[in-house]
Structure 1
């Protein structure tokens, strides 16, 4: 199977997948000017995207950043949030060493905190 990048967003405030979160996928260069937007996707009812964020030849070794637009998501949810939101855009920067591998970058998030890790 070719390399691919996937995610799963879980709303820890409500204990369920976060449906409708917009995610930006960026390739990062040596400077901020070399940052390139590759894709913008939204999570489905399971908190995942319908297709991998990147796969095959789209996925290359190098630095990437996922930006999760959680402020807009939590604004539509029945949870207490501040105005402006404490967390609005959550960036997760990481590196791909093996473009033939599966990289899974989940986000567990509430209006007040988040965590991530390399999953499987």
Structure 2
């Protein structure tokens, strides 16, 4: 696969993909590229078809962490540690594919540029 972006989210607190987690991918200027939710494979569907939208530049993924955990029965404080989590990243070479594998709990996050 050349160019584009893929996102995979695993809820490591429960030991499976974060199906139903709402998120949005935006350009840094605020233009929304895609809004959706994580599917049963742990992926954000629809990104593959938008590969040409990802030129060199700065982007954000906005994950609705508190809403996701509350919807799945996790008791969170009124002011959650992670509410809307904003992950800002850059694409330096638009010909390469950028994969973001998020490992998530209500209290923390791990992500890196994967090699998908």
Q: Which runs of 5+ in 1 are unaligned?
A: 29-33
Counterpart CA distance in 2 for 1:25 and 1:107 is 14
State the match for 2:110 in structure 1: 115
Conserved? CA contact 1:8–1:48, under 8 Å: yes
For the aligned residue pairs, the C-alpha RMSD in angstroms reads: 1.6
In the other structure, the counterpart of 1:106 is: 101
Contact between 1:39 and 1:53, CA under 8 Å: does it hold in 2? no
CA offsets 1:77-100 (integer angstroms, 9 cap, x no match): 133422232211111111101111
Aligned residues: 115
Q: Which residue of 1 aligns with 2:36?
A: 41
Q: Specify whether residues 76 and 89 from structure 1 end up closer, same or farther in structure 2 by C-alpha distance, changes over 3 A only.
A: same
The answer to whether the 8 A contact 1:23-1:69 is kept is yes
| Paired residue secondary structure (2:19) | coil
Q: Which residues of structure 2 form unaligned runs of 5+? A: none
Q: TM-score, normalised by structure 1?
A: 0.86
